[in-house]
Amino acid sequence: MTLVNQQIQLASRPQGEPGADNFRLVELPVPALADGQVLVKNHYLSLDPYMRGRMNDGKSYAQPQPLDTVMIGGTVGEVVDSRHPGFVPGDKVVGMGGWQLYTVVDAAQPGLLRKVDTTHVPLSAYLGAVGMPGVTAWYGLTQIIAPKAGETVVVSAASGAVGSAVGQLAKARGCRVVGIAGGADKCGYVVDELGFDACVDYKAQPDAQALLAALQTAAPAGVDGYFENVGGAILDAVMAQMNAFGRIAFCGMISGYNGEPIPMRAPQLILTQRLKLQGFIVSEHMQLWPEALKELGTAVATGRLKYRESVAQGLAAAPEAFLGLLKGRNFGKQLVRLA
């Protein structure tokens, strides 16, 4: 009997804020495998903010998502059929399977599919704390911010998959860690469960001056390192509190993902505070992934790196879950359970 695959394709490019009508759910037969190919049944799909940029047809660090093709996305799952000697049915694997139930992978191409051990690390964690988000946190913190014990590190979107890992990794290196998040529940989580020293609830601040005052209270000695996920008014507030020779790792600018301008209020601070600002794309640093994954996997397996997941049920729920992610409705890593 021929297996039937379901996938969500990009049907149209959004003009401003995306909507569910930009996506299309289709059914297709699963093709027969050729030599060297592996069939994976995807168990979880990762939803990430970078996908919003790929929906646009504009210049960026990566090619736009083609229309009428399956949406890009990281997946974990199980090999159900294989014509490659390196994989057998039952292997648990991580790859870029996309928004679909089944993926045919050319396993002969290096890096497309990686076997993972679920003995001590849950399968879903390979899309979060022990996956791309975790490595993103590790790289921006260790390679750009490079904090020293006793320094203050601030991270925005602190309860998310990347931000929560940044804070815990910084605490393990002896830093004072301040999160910025939206809502009392998220701030309570990063302080009480993740061990941050303080958290600023930006939603509770009526204006930019109040936001800065709250940050000054949380980081009275100033800020030495900042992990940026948001941009806009939050970046302005942190820059105003940066110490001389501070370092800012630019990971995301979600406040402008729908085309809104993101002005910087006081760029002169880059000069007067002698700041280092550096953007990065984690997929361009694959040579460091093994080192990062070793630390992250050990920390998760031993319970020293905690994480939280928001899980939508079923492939059809992916578009709404993704739109919610862009509005901060998720709590922790946003996943879709497919099997």
For residue range 265-289, what is the model confidence (pLDDT) as tens digits? 999 999 999 999 999 999 999 999 9
Helical (H) or strand (E) element with 244: strand 242-250
Structure tokens at 149: 């014990």
Domain ranges within the chain, ordered by starting residue = 4-128+308-337, 132-283
Give strand ranges (E) for 59-175: 75-82, 92-95, 102-106, 113-115, 152-156
Cα dihedral sign, 158-220-238-289: negative
Using one digit for the tens of pLDDT, what is the confidence trace for 166-184? 999 999 999 999 999 999 9
**In the predicted structure, residue 8 carries a pLDDT above the cut 80:** yes
> Is 1.20.1250.20 the CATH number for 132-283?
no
Q: Kindly state which CATH superfamily the domain 4-128+308-337 is placed in.
A: Medium-chain alcohol dehydrogenases, catalytic domain (3.90.180.10)
Look up residue 70 and give its DSSP letter: B
Whole-model pTM: value is 0.94
Residues in the chain: 339
Q: Grade residue 1 by pLDDT with cuts at 50, 70 and 90.
A: low
* Same fold yes or no, 4-128+308-337 and 132-283: no
Contacts of 302 (CB under 8 A, 6+ apart): none
pLDDT confidence tier of residue 259, bands split at 50, 70 and 90: confident
Query: DSSP secondary-structure letter at 54?
Result: H
Name the residue among 275, 279, 168 with its Cα closest to residue 223.
275
Q: Which pLDDT value is given to residue 36? A: 96
